[in-house]
Structure 1
Amino acid sequence: MKKFIQLGCVPVLFLLGLSSAVAEWDENKGCMSCHEGIERFADIEEMQDLTCVDCHNGDGNATTIEKGHQQLWANPTDLRIIDETCGTCHADEVENAKTSIHATMAGIISGTRYNFGAQSRDSIHATYDVKALKTGREGTVDMLTQLPSYDPKKPESATNSPGDDYLRNQCLRCHIWSDGHQRDGDYRASGCAACHVEYSNAATYEGGDKAIDKNQKDRPRLHKMTKKITVDQCQHCHNRGGRTGVSYMGMIESDGYGTPYTADGSKQGKLHGKHYNFVQADLHYEAGMSCIDCHTSAEMHGDGYLYTKKEHAVEVRCETCHGTTTTDATLKTARDNVMTHLKREGAKVTLTTKNDGKALDVPQLNSKALSEEGRVAMVKIATHMENMECYTCHAPWAPQCYGCHAKQDISKPNGDWLQGANDDVSQLGKKANLQKKAFSWNESRSYVRWENPSLGINHRGKVSVYVPGCQVFLTQVDGNKPIVANKTYTTVDGTSGISHNPIQPHTTSKNARSCAECHTNPKVLGLGGGIYDIQRNFAAGKAPIDFELERFVDETGKQLQSTSHKGARPFNQAELERISRVGTCLACHGSDEITDKGQAPDDATHNKVLRKMVKKNQ
């Protein structure tokens, strides 16, 4: 008979860093002989009869720590053993989670391999072999196979790419088969606990368990499951790539200089291995909204489909909450799922935040008094609403990391985020347990910007914000022996592997970008700023590319840089000319006089009008 106090399922003891002072064993207390004061993991009624060993395994009759911890699962929510724990009650959710983009990383993998010239833009690989539970939806595939490993002794090929090693050693630390990176801001658990067990940025335990050292890193804040997922928790992964987690809070990584930001003037510490500058936060964050107030459980947990990119998995739209200038808010996602925390009373829509129950009034575009600029942009020029994403204008900044200089040293074996070794299978995704099946990488960059993000066409055929992502210059060495220096790739489609991609930057502002910024700034159009000298930034002027890092299209509409999103592209020549022509008109007419209609039919007519105006004013 098991002699344990019933705690509810107890996943995240990851504990096992017991303090030296261990209580005398009491067979009537069992695990609680040492873990006195530990929090009940869940308060829901269905979990009240579960004991420690029901979730953590181990030996429920042992009278020593060593025997009690034999065959222990430190994290019962890890995907490797979850079928025997959470999956006994939540089988559908567990199966869906294994197909989610959070588990497969299909988009990151395909995008990286595409830019390394190893495959097309179609997703073919994931973290591990996986089959879809549902098929047939746009942007999905039926199955994905595990990402190959890289062997530098073999010729580089579609199945033997340095990009695969780059992914395995660097990029793939953020998937729910693994724990987080072991540094402030990145600590988290694997499996369900990756989201549902909160970690502070310092990753120290703040609960009542007397066996746990409060100063030891890599511990959850509490031994407690939560449905109230904070922005900080999401940020433990979403601080690389698109960087939407940190951008949402108004954080942009600096070039390495720490600056005072606390009230006492102490220096800023690093999060995610970086120093940050603080700029304008997203207005939704300022209003008190968390990521889960927009993003649905189907997006987060998966729904059985194998999505190739996150933009296909995301189902929420701006019009879900705000409507358009001519239609009501749907209060439903693009897949017709009802947003239950949105309510309509007459013309008023209210959102109740999921974490703290705060009621927020949601502005409705078809009943809101617009500014003159807003009326011009959204009503007088109706094609803006039809052809552009809302955030194209309302995201005034976006993180732009130019030139990713990636150095691989094949003389130094290093951890592979997809291969671990440990007696406890629930710990195979921990950094300390990674097998050295990959090689060491070092990353640096050319420069960072946040202002005037570029624009282009996204996979939906709409004008969207574009950011660099990513612009790899590969240097490969064998110890002190150079093999390759600043190599860039050409994609299977013939474009440079240096890339720009569309993004929803999560930096929404009430005040939109100006008409002049988008219609007159060549950088915004993807033409570059004309200032960065690519040749002088490489030794002896041997730059591997002949265009500046901000320039991903030329004036004829020729695409210079790749985009890994199918259907996405830079502006073509006709679009560039039309956008620029409006910029020319703005100099005389101002935005309030520019409309879809009323344009001169041709240059001759326009010149005739101009001459008449000049003569009249002489």
Structure 2
Amino acid sequence: MKKIFKYAIPAMLGFSCFASQAAWDDDKGCMSCHEGIEQFSDVDMMADLTCVDCHNGNGKATDQKKAHTNMWANPTDLRVVDETCGSCHADEVEKAKTSIHATMSGMISGTRYNFGSQTRDSIYATYDVKALKTGREGTVASLKQLPSYHPNKPESDTNSPGDDYLRNQCLRCHLWSDGHQRDGDYRASGCAACHVEYSNAATYEGGDKAIDKTQKDRPRKHKMTTKVSVDQCQHCHNRGGRTGVSYKGMMESDGYGTPYTETGGKQGKLHGKHYNFLEADLHFDAGMSCIDCHTKDEMHGDGYLYTKKHLAVEIRCESCHGSTKSDATLKTARDNPLNNVKREGTKVILTTKNDGKQLEVPQLFANPNLSKEGQVAMVKIAGHMEKLECSTCHAAWAPQCYGCHATQNVGKPNGDWLDGSSIDESAKGKKSNLNKKAYSWSESRSYVRWEMPALGINSRGKVSTFVPGCQVFLTQVDGEKALVNNKTYTTKDGTSGLSHNPIQPHTMSKRSRTCEECHTNPKVLGLGSGVYDIERNFPEGQAPAFELERFVDEDGKQLQSTSHEGARPFNKQEMDNIRRVGSCLACHGSDEINANGKAPDDITHMKVIQRMVEKAN
């Protein structure tokens, strides 16, 4: 192929040609068929790449079959990327393989912990991997590939149904794999997972005349982008913590698909679910994308093997907004400068990376425009700023999926997201090429909520929003034969395998939660609402000893696990302190508690009340 052909074959990312082949033209080469295809990149040097530079194949062939022999459908797949993107970006490629996006170490360790097969420590990843850097807290030197499950062997720490659950279901969202084949989940593997955009419908919208524009599993265009959209991140971030869909104000319903469309039919599905639309995160409404906050090191990896997602995150609210005691640093928690945020006089300006929109970032330090409520919560009661995450008050809601009812059919082999085979090395992570080395799973839940999420202490020692983690109820069948029914596990440290975990819900609102909601509501304290009747919702003898919202008792005893080291529910003293303020609110209101001081003990308080009653009489 002549060097002037600066285009890559559209078989990239799963493209395939129509059965009919155009007449070969030596001057056009691959463009004999693929006339109109987009130049993959406008970046200097990349714009000069030929089809075979990226896709391999045979550039001298004069028919389609020979031209596509030994071709890589996706040159950015991590199995071949060292020979493609890695030729120029070796450092980025090596770091990407150690990133939490590639290893999924946090999801793996959390799931296995709740299945009772390991401690909180990270042991396993998608594939064997060694760190490029070591020594940072919350990281490890190496991780091994997750074991496979064999139902004919005894269940053990290295033979857990949880491993099969991960391999068949949860691990669809790592960089070594393509996405799940359904609307909202389609994407490519490797670098293209982020940098080649897919619509939710996953159909081609470009100019290549050889590509069927009705066929699914196609990128919008044969084009690389650094302007990664929220929708692109959402192709993966719609399960687990659900931060991708929550950011846009989307909360899954129970599948009804109503209100109906104008034709009387059900609304379309994304990620296999129907959605309600709630209040979106204020940053989304302002026009910000995920990449405006999250850094290159967080997403690409920095060479360390982090054990949990939250440990890899280096951005903080204070980086841009400052605090009531200090200016915004304009740096991450690891002292890395934010390249799209700068100070202009007394203002802090953020420039969005996708469209260049300039936004003034509200500042907390010496801000005379704080609302009355803000003055009370952040200035008069200074302990809030020291003891609480910002999202604790400002997350308007959080997704709460109670009861993860998972059924494994050991009589029905199914695809394994970590085991694929294909003549094309770059296509081993495609769902259609997965080997049936795992078993079929189906999932359901008890119920979903979004309002009044609970609180607890996160691994940073701060009060944080808590949501249900993986509340595993395992049912195992062999065809029609039931083997296990609604089994729950006990963790290695003796806690229930049902879990609640801290989260930054990505549902930030200028309006905060009320003082009364946090200081007087038992559900917010982790004590549950008392409404869900756990006994009547399970067969006799199979119900857990507590309702699904309840992860601590009134004495501060932890009832459900948390997979984050150091995270926990409130203890009894903390709950008593919180509720004491709630009692004061009934008479004083949030504005009066700090203004009028507080009695140092109950005896003094009773004397004050007695004097007030005497004066009133």
- State the Cα deviation string for residues 212-268 of structure 1 (Å, max 9, x = none): 000000000000000000000000000000000000000000011102476777642
Structure 1 position 599, deviation (Å): 2.2
Name the counterpart of 2:387. Answer: 387
Name the counterpart of 1:598. Answer: 597
Structure 1 position 48, deviation (Å): 2.3
* SS of 2:86 mapped into structure 1: helix
- Report the count of equivalent residues: 616
Verify the 8 A CA contact 1:8 1:43 in the aligned structure 2.
Answer: no
Indicate how the Cα distance of structure 1 residues 341 and 16 shifts in structure 2: closer, same or farther if over 3 A, else same.
closer
Name the counterpart of 1:81. Answer: 80
Unaligned runs of 5+ in 1: none
2: distance between equivalents of 1:189 and 1:467?
30
Name the counterpart of 1:536. Answer: 536
2: distance between equivalents of 1:367 and 1:240?
40
2: distance between equivalents of 1:11 and 1:310?
34
Name the counterpart of 1:579. Answer: 578
Verify the 8 A CA contact 1:6 1:48 in the aligned structure 2.
Answer: no
Name the counterpart of 1:238. Answer: 237
**If the length of structure 1 is used for normalisation, what is the TM-score?**
0.98
Indicate how the Cα distance of structure 1 residues 16 and 515 shifts in structure 2: closer, same or farther if over 3 A, else same.
closer
Alignment of 1:410 with 2:410, yes or no, is yes
2: distance between equivalents of 1:18 and 1:617?
88
Name the counterpart of 1:128. Answer: 127
* SS of 2:171 mapped into structure 1: helix
- State the Cα deviation string for residues 144-191 of structure 1 (Å, max 9, x = none): 000000001000000000000000000000000000000000000000
**If the length of structure 2 is used for normalisation, what is the TM-score?**
0.98
Verify the 8 A CA contact 1:177 1:191 in the aligned structure 2.
Answer: yes
Verify the 8 A CA contact 1:552 1:561 in the aligned structure 2.
Answer: yes
- Opposite residue 229 of structure 1, the aligned amino acid is V
1: distance between equivalents of 2:93 and 2:8?
16
Verify the 8 A CA contact 1:23 1:33 in the aligned structure 2.
Answer: yes
Name the counterpart of 1:477. Answer: 477
Verify the 8 A CA contact 2:116 2:491 in the aligned structure 1.
Answer: yes
Name the counterpart of 1:297. Answer: 296
* SS of 1:36 mapped into structure 2: coil
Verify the 8 A CA contact 2:9 2:30 in the aligned structure 1.
Answer: no
Name the counterpart of 1:431. Answer: 431
* SS of 1:537 mapped into structure 2: coil
Structure 1 position 49, deviation (Å): 2.0
Verify the 8 A CA contact 1:39 1:223 in the aligned structure 2.
Answer: yes
Verify the 8 A CA contact 2:21 2:64 in the aligned structure 1.
Answer: no
Name the counterpart of 1:611. Answer: 610
Verify the 8 A CA contact 1:148 1:164 in the aligned structure 2.
Answer: yes
Name the counterpart of 2:282. Answer: 283
The 4+ residue runs of structure 1 with deviation greater than 3 A are 8-12, 260-267
- State the Cα deviation string for residues 373-394 of structure 1 (Å, max 9, x = none): 1111000110100010000000
Indicate how the Cα distance of structure 1 residues 276 and 38 shifts in structure 2: closer, same or farther if over 3 A, else same.
same
- State the Cα deviation string for residues 454-512 of structure 1 (Å, max 9, x = none): 00000100000000011010000111111110000000010000000000000000000
1: distance between equivalents of 2:580 and 2:508?
27
Name the counterpart of 1:190. Answer: 189
Name the counterpart of 2:48. Answer: 49
Alignment of 1:458 with 2:458, yes or no, is yes
Name the counterpart of 2:207. Answer: 208
Name the counterpart of 2:505. Answer: 505
* SS of 1:351 mapped into structure 2: strand
Indicate how the Cα distance of structure 1 residues 542 and 590 shifts in structure 2: closer, same or farther if over 3 A, else same.
same
Verify the 8 A CA contact 1:11 1:76 in the aligned structure 2.
Answer: no
1: distance between equivalents of 2:323 and 2:235?
34
* SS of 1:443 mapped into structure 2: strand
Residue correspondence of structure 1 range 297-376 to structure 2 within 5 A: 297-368=296-367, 369-376=369-376
Alignment of 1:34 with 2:33, yes or no, is yes
Structure 1 position 11, deviation (Å): 7.6
Name the counterpart of 2:69. Answer: 70
Name the counterpart of 1:228. Answer: 227
Unaligned runs of 5+ in 2: none
2: distance between equivalents of 1:131 and 1:155?
30
Query: Is the deviation greater in 4-13 or in 137-146?
Result: 4-13
- Opposite residue 68 of structure 2, the aligned amino acid is H
Verify the 8 A CA contact 1:12 1:223 in the aligned structure 2.
Answer: no
Structure 1 position 372, deviation (Å): 1.1
Name the counterpart of 2:518. Answer: 518
2: distance between equivalents of 1:332 and 1:266?
49
- State the Cα deviation string for residues 511-535 of structure 1 (Å, max 9, x = none): 0000000000000000000111111
- State the Cα deviation string for residues 417-458 of structure 1 (Å, max 9, x = none): 000011001000000000000000000000000000000000
